[in-house]
């Protein structure tokens, strides 16, 4: 009896091992022939942090509560899953002030711009490619490692909403050259980068992520709550108009103090222009505004330098800082805009922006 049991057990183990080996072999064949292991356009370790994201947020503003889901699609854009790369005509790049993950899409700058385009019968839609924390250094990385790997992506325009993160960044040489860490386009950990590379190339893993992104509603326990009403009342910021800044700031002194920063910034602007045109697209640059801090002085002189540089280089630029008369109700933390602030910005830049887009 014991011998029979032992033989049965050994036979069962052999069958089990053979079946497992066959399954592994079959999966390996599928991965090799249908996976992305040899696809030169596969994103590999790039952009994994920003693709197929689905996070739950709650916004409290003007005594209203909005529960919404922040999504980034398969290609990394804050857009619908049905978006096809070949249908994208205009992309807008920026940091958190364009990503605006803390608000429903309809309350973002791009949301209001798209609403104006639709209301004015323009068959154009701007796609949100904002990444929280990115400066022009990170935007360059997008054009080098993100957009070129999206098959059939051929935008006519790329809009850059720039200035604030370049005004705040450390100009240490090591940091300047560390493009890939800007906005976490690639995980700086070698081990994590290796894992991300494997995950993005695996057909099985990619399929599971797609299914999860489509059907997973999000983790309610990780819901992030933004209370604009509380933040607005808690922090009192000072705001100056462009004319007041010209009377208050020592422009020659600021120019001299920030010479290295300005040169680095404008050099990146030239790189962005060059990379954009190499894609067959036209770049448009828009400067930014914020509340009064020591950073705002740097931003002011960078904004001024950008517009002067655009005139020399004949770039398409919109001087938002000059036209935007800021008010406390436009910002909830002195840096990021409320719905009213985003709408005001969209209304200011829309007329110039549409004149650029119509020319194409």
Q: What is the pLDDT of residues 31-42, one digit of tens each?
A: 788 889 888 888
Residue 163 lies in a domain: yes
Number of folded domains in the chain? 1
Q: Which domain holds residue 244?
A: 48-359
Q: For the chain, what percentages of helix, strand and coil (3-state, to nearest 5) are there?
A: 55, 10, 30
pLDDT at position 305 over 90:
yes
Residue 214 lies in a domain: yes
**pLDDT band at residue 97, thresholds of 50, 70 and 90?**
very high
pLDDT of residue 80: 87
Task: Find all residues with CB under 8 Å of 22, minimum gap 6, and list them.
Answer: none
pLDDT of residue 5: 60
pLDDT of residue 262: 96
Q: What is the pLDDT of residues 194-224, one digit of tens each?
A: 899 998 999 988 999 888 888 888 889 899 9
Residue 13 lies in a domain: no
pLDDT of residue 57: 96
Residue 187 lies in a domain: yes
pLDDT at position 137 over 80:
yes
Whole-angstrom Cα distance, residue 241 to residue 217?
A: 44
Residue 350 lies in a domain: yes
Residue 285 lies in a domain: yes
What single string gives the DSSP state of each residue in 132-197? TT--HHHHHHIIIIIGGGSTT---SEEEEE-SHHHHHS---HHHHH-GGGTTTSS-S-HHHHHHHH
293 neighbors 245 (Cβ within 8 angstroms): no
The CATH number of the domain holding residue 105 is 3.40.50.1110
Residue 6 lies in a domain: no
Residue 43 lies in a domain: no
């Amino acid at each position: 009896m014991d011998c029979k049991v032992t033989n049965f057990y050994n036979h069962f183990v052999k069958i089990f091992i053979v079946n497992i080996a066959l399954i592994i072999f079959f999966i390996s064949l599928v991965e090799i022939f249908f996976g992305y292991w040899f696809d030169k356009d596969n994103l590999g370790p790039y952009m994994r942090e920003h693709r197929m994201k689905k996070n739950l947020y709650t916004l409290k503003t003007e005594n209203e509560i909005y529960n919404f889901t922040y999504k980034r699609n398969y290609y990394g854009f804050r857009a619908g899953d049905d978006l096809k790369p070949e249908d994208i005509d205009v992309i807008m790049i920026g940091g958190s002030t364009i990503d605006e993950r803390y608000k429903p899409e309809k309350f973002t700058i791009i949301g209001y711009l798209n609403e104006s385009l639709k209301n004015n019968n323009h068959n154009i839609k701007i796609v949100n490619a904002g990444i929280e924390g990115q400066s022009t250094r990170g935007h360059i990385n997008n054009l080098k490692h993100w957009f070129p790997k999206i098959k059939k992506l051929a935008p006519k325009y790329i809009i850059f909403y720039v200035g604030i993160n370049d005004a705040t960044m450390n100009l240490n040489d090591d940091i300047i050259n560390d493009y890939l860490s800007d906005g976490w386009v690639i995980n700086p950990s070698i081990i994590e980068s290796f894992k991300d590379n494997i995950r993005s190339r695996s057909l099985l893993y990619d399929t599971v992520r797609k299914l999860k992104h489509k059907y997973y509603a999000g983790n309610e326990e990780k819901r992030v709550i933004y209370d604009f009403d509380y933040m607005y009342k808690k922090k009192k910021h000072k705001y100056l108009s462009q004319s007041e800044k010209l009377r208050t700031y020592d422009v020659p002194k600021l120019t001299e103090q920030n010479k290295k920063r300005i040169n680095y910034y404008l050099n990146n602007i030239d790189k962005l222009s060059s990379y954009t045109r190499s894609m067959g697209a036209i770049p448009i640059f828009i400067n930014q505004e914020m509340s009064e801090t020591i950073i705002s002085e740097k931003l002011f002189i960078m904004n001024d330098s950008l517009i002067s540089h655009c005139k020399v280089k004949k770039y398409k630029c919109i001087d938002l800082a000059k036209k935007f008369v800021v008010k406390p109700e436009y910002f909830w933390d002195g840096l990021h805009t409320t719905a009213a602030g985003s709408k005001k910005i969209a209304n200011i830049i829309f007329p110039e922006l549409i004149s650029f887009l119509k020319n194409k």
